[in-house]
Structures are given as C-alpha cells and as structure tokens.
Chain A
Amino acid sequence: MRDEDIIVLQEPALTAAERLYLPQIIDGMRVTLRHMFSVTARNRRVTQYPEQKNPQWIENYRGVHRLNRDPEGRVACVACFMCSSACPVDCIHIEAGEAPWPDREKYPVKFDIDELRCIYCGMCEEACPCDAIELTPHYELVSQSRAEMIFDKEKLLQVYEETKETKRRKNPAVTGYGLTGDQSKDVARPAAEPKI
C-alpha cells in the first residue's frame, strides 16, 4: 500500500433541495408504491409452497443421508470409519462387525446418524471410499420427537429405497467399487489378494 494507491474522493455537499430530504423520501415512496401495485411482479416471484416447489439441483443437493446398496443388494459400507472421522459435529456412530460375506472384511453392525445434529456439509460423502454414504435431495424432514431423527441403518437403507430412482448412486464407473460386488478390487492396489 503506497501513498499513490490512496484515492481521495471529492465528496460534493448536498444541495439545498437535497438537504430537505423530502424529495428523496417521496421518490422512494413512489418506488414502493409502484411495487405495491404491480401484480405481475408479485406473481412472478412467489412460489406457493407446498403446491409449487423451486427447481432443485439433484446431483449436488445436500439433504438427508442414505446408505447405498451395491448391485448385489448388500449394504455398500465397509465400516472404515472415514465418514465418522470426517464429520465436523460427530453425528455418525458406527459399530463394525465381521462381514458375513467372503469378499469383505468388515461391515457396519450399527450405523446411526443424528439428523438433527448433522450440519449437512457433505464431508462424509466426500470421505467415503466406497460411495456408500450419500446425501439425497430430500429436505422435507419432519418428526415428532428427537429420538425419531436418529436414523439407524434400517432407516438409512429405507431412504435409499425411496430415492434410488430419483438420484442414482454416484459415479461407480469412476470409483470402480460396487460394479461387480467385488470389494477387494482396490483401485490403489490392484494386485491385492482377495480375502477368503
């Protein structure tokens, strides 16, 4: 910041009519009057929710979470705790257990998300290496108690059932997971031994 960078403004003083303030006030009131009586402007801007809803960017909207299923219908999560660690508010609680399927080590026995504590930032979705957890475009979340809003694994899978047509599971072709159900196909270590 040099002396040459400083701009000195020559502020002109108010004229006599301007000091009265009334012309400006009346001018402003004329603008508001125009808006008060313009029915077309009003109808153009108003969305009567819930009969009309605004357009929504389905791919990017961060609404309620869901746990995806892989093409074989198993829950895609491998209980790696990446989402739980990435969450800024600690709203994800996972209990890992030994997976009943041969090609996977772990799976989540319990997967709870406290939807009231969640800030819907999407860090869990970004952190997940298996595209298991995703945020859906569903935002109309209503319940009658706080306990109802702690979504367990069944509820999250139910959200998946309800939204899997409207929002497809993102980019399995890129990540390579879930296409064949073979979780041991680690993209980073292609020569790894499959677990028995």
Chain B
Amino acid sequence: MPQIMNYDPADKTATPVDRALRSPGILLTAFAVIGVLTAALLVVLWLAFADTIKPVLASQFGFSVVLMVVLVGLILLSTAVCILAERKIAGFIQDRKGPNRAGFWGVLQPAADGLKFFLKEDIIPAQVDRPLYLLAPCISFGLALIGFAIIPWAGEIHWPWMAEGQTVTTQVASLDIGILYILAVGSLGVYGIVLAGYASNNKYSFYGGVRATAQMLSYEVPLGLGLLVVLLVVGSLRPEVIVNQQAESGVWNVFLHPIACLLVIISAFAENNRAPFDLPEAEQELVGGYHTEYSSMKFAMFFLGEYAHMVTNSALIVTMFFGGWHIWFLPNVDNTAWWAALLKFGVFSGKVGLFVGLYMWVRWTLPRFRFDQLMRLAWKSLVPIGMTLVVVAGILVALGWQRNWFASIGVNIVLLAVGLWLASRSRQPITGRQISLADIEVRPLQPV
C-alpha cells in the first residue's frame, strides 16, 4: 500500500522574493503602476510638446516614423508574449498547466527566458564560416520585422489639426506594390536558414538547412497563387485597397474564396517552418536542425524570428482574407477620427492574436509531415489547386462577376467537388501511404 512520506506541505522552498513575484496582487499592482506611469508620461509629453508633435503627426513621413517605433516595440512585446502563450496553450492542450512559477500564470516567464538567453555562454564553434554564421540569425529576425511595413493597421486618420480632407494612413509605407513587397521579404527569409545550415560546419545542420530551404521554396508557389486569387478579385496590389474593398462591401474575401484562404493558410504554416511542417527543426530528427550550433542570444533570435514571422503571416492573412481592421458593427472606412483608428487597431490586433492562437492550436494537434509527404503535398496537391483557382478567378474577372458572392462560392464548391471526384478516381496515393483504419478485418489466428 503506497504511503505518502510526511513532507511538510508548507512552501518552504520559495524565498520571499519568489513568493512576492508569484502573488497575483503584487504583480498586478506593479503592472498597473507601470501602465499608469507610461500613460502619465505620454500625457505630459503631449501637453508639453503639443506644438512640435502636431505637425509631425500630420505629415505622413513623421507619422510613419512614430508608427514604426510603436510597431517595433509592440512586435517585440508580442513575440515575448508568444513565448509564454505557446507554452501555456501547449500545457492546456496536454491536460497540464504551463509555466506558473515565474510570476502568477507565468507572466514573468518571458522575462526569465530573456534573462537566461542573455546570461548564457555564447559559443561559436571553431570551424564555422564566421561571417555567414553570425549573419544568419540577423537576417532571419530582421526580415520578419520588416514585413510589417505595408500592413494597414487602422485605415486612415484625420487629425483635428490637419487641413480639411487630408488624412494620414496607418501604414509605415504605403507602396504601390504592397503585397509583392511582402512576398519578396518572405522569400528573402529563406536565406537566414540556408546560411545557418551551411555555415554551421555540421552535417545535420546542413541537412536541416537544405530541407528547410526546399520546403520554403516549394511553398512559396501555392502562397503566391493563393494571394494571386485575391489580387485578381481586388484588382490592386495595395493592401489598404484590399482592406477597404472588404470593408465597404462588408464581404470578407474568405467568404468569396475559401479554398484560396485555406491554401494561403497552409502555405503560411509551411513557410514558417511551423508544425505540422517543422521537420527542419524537429528535435527527434536532426537534434536542432539548422539551429543546432547556435547558443544563447543567436538561438533566441531564430526563435523570436520564428514568432515574429508567425505574427507577420497572421497579419498578412487577416489583411487579405479576413477584412483587416473591419468588423461589421464598428466604424468603417469613412470614419477617420483618431478614436475610431484606435478601435480598428484593436480589432486588427485581436484578429492577429486569434490567428496566432490558431497557429499554436494546430501545432499541438497535428503530427509532423515526413519530408517527402511535405513536398508531395506542395507540388502535387496545392500547386494544381492553386493554378486551377487562378484560372477560375481570371474567368470570373473577365466576366465581371468577381465580387458576386454566389458566383464565387458556387465556383469554389464546384472546384471542391471536381477535385474530390478526381482524387477518388486516382489509384496513386497523394501523400504516401494512406490506409483507412475504419474497418480493417482481422481474422484471429487459429489455435494450433
């Protein structure tokens, strides 16, 4: 009969500082105090320097700079929150709690992780290709941060002190080629991984790097094709035009082309080396994959770059398919007050947060794809679907029906049915061995 040892249940192992950091009251008070102080500081700055700040905010360039600074801060903050959110969500899905020691509910866990990464010994192996080795994490992290430049966070703002009819747009850069810029930056992101794998002087890292490169290049194609469908429907590459069209008509692009949305979501997962496509960094396969030889802060940059890339991809998907900052009962395109912009920003951030949660939810649900299954999925499933979708969307545009909901949905349903019928007729499996476990007949062994 198992007995319980007579350990003292009182928490004698925590120091007073530990207990203070873990109590919700003290932490919440600290956060509230910090928030109030920041708000007070901003108000004081505004009151003191209003006359210098106003023209800066009225000019697009000045506003972009301010927005850029705010965004970089917010993205780094959200990357840190992602660390905690990932582990908590993983824990909850697996019927356990995530980290809850570093502050109540683990809110100080990102701080603890950051401190750990800074204080770790920075090891650079002797035979690595030093410039490329040191450059790779910078590329990976930097490019993930750049991708936010063209995302329309809150539509247009008309400050009260601006001339009549003038607005500033809440994008860091309002480019004519908006979506092309994101595709280009995303493609450059492959370099980070290629260089990491190549420069590591380690055949397993090299293997991981090569696999990651092949995977990311393969999934660029369906990503581009899916985005192309939306671009055909909208007729412009500018993301603010895409969002404004969805907002004005009230119909999000996901309701027009759900298959294209699915294509883009799957490709975004694969672009990000994110489960179920995370073979290049799988621990069971390749130790650490392309980031085996990286320690402390360089590894942290890969890690954080992956989360930042996740947020960028989520923002892209929300912009293209889910209406950006638009929600039906809240202010729309024509409302350009600053408080409406704040509301829209909140809505956008909420949607991006939901998608980041979707990323994590899928990661802890699905098993990993084998590499040949991965490549077969890209080239034999997603690319044909993408190409057919583009052709069909082109026909719709030629007929002028691209924003007609019935036409679009009907075409999607027809495509789905045709695709399923074709797939069921083929004898070849699409992604490796496929056995339905529904009703296997097993005859028991006859006794000897």
Contacts and interface: CB of A to CB of B under 8 A. Distances in A.
Contacts of A36: 89, 92-93, 361
A55 to B, nearest CB: 4
Contact of A12 (B13, B365, B440): B440
A10 B440 contact: yes
Interface string B343-379: 0000000000000000001101110000000000000
A11 B436 contact: yes
Nearest to A137: B5
Given A42-B92, A56-B4, A14 B436 contact: yes
B3 A58 contact: yes
Contacts of B436: 11-15, 18
Given A28-B366, A56-B3, A19 B434 contact: yes
Interface in B401-448: 420-421, 423-424, 430, 434-436, 438-443, 445-446
A53 B2 CA distance: 13
8 contacts: A5-B445, A28-B366, A37-B92, A45-B95, A50-B7, A56-B2, A56-B3, A57-B2
Given A9-B442, A58-B5, 12 more contacts: A13-B436, A16-B421, A18-B436, A28-B366, A32-B361, A33-B361, A35-B93, A36-B93, A36-B361, A42-B92, A46-B97, A58-B3
User: Looking at chain A, what size class is its interface with the partner chain?
Assistant: 35 or more
B440 A46 contact: no
Nearest to B362: A29
A188 interface: no
B120 interface: no
Nearest to B94: A35
Smallest CB-CB A-B distances: 6 pairs = A16-B424, A16-B420, A55-B2, A36-B92, A32-B365, A57-B2
B6 interface: yes
Interface in B91-108: 92-97
Interface on chain B toward A: helix, strand, loop, or mixed SS?
A: loop
A3 interface: no
Nearest to B9: A51
B5 A14 contact: no
Contacts of A28: 365-366
Interface string A13-29: 11111111010010011
A75 B262 CA distance: 74
A39 to B, nearest CB: 9
Interface residues of B, number: 38
A5 B444 CA distance: 9
A76 B76 CA distance: 64
Interface of B: 2-7, 9, 11, 13, 89, 92-97, 262, 361-362, 364-366, 420-421, 423-424, 430, 434-436, 438-443, 445-446
B422 to A, nearest CB: 10
A41 interface: yes
A112 B445 CA distance: 56
Given A17-B420, A46-B97, A57-B2, A9 B92 contact: no
B364 A53 contact: no
Contacts of B3: 55-58
A7 interface: yes
A26 to B, nearest CB: 10
Given A9-B440, A19-B424, A29 B7 contact: no
A35 B92 contact: yes
Nearest to B276: A25
Contacts of B441: 9-10
A84 B96 CA distance: 42
A193 interface: no
Contact of B420 (A4, A10, A19): A19
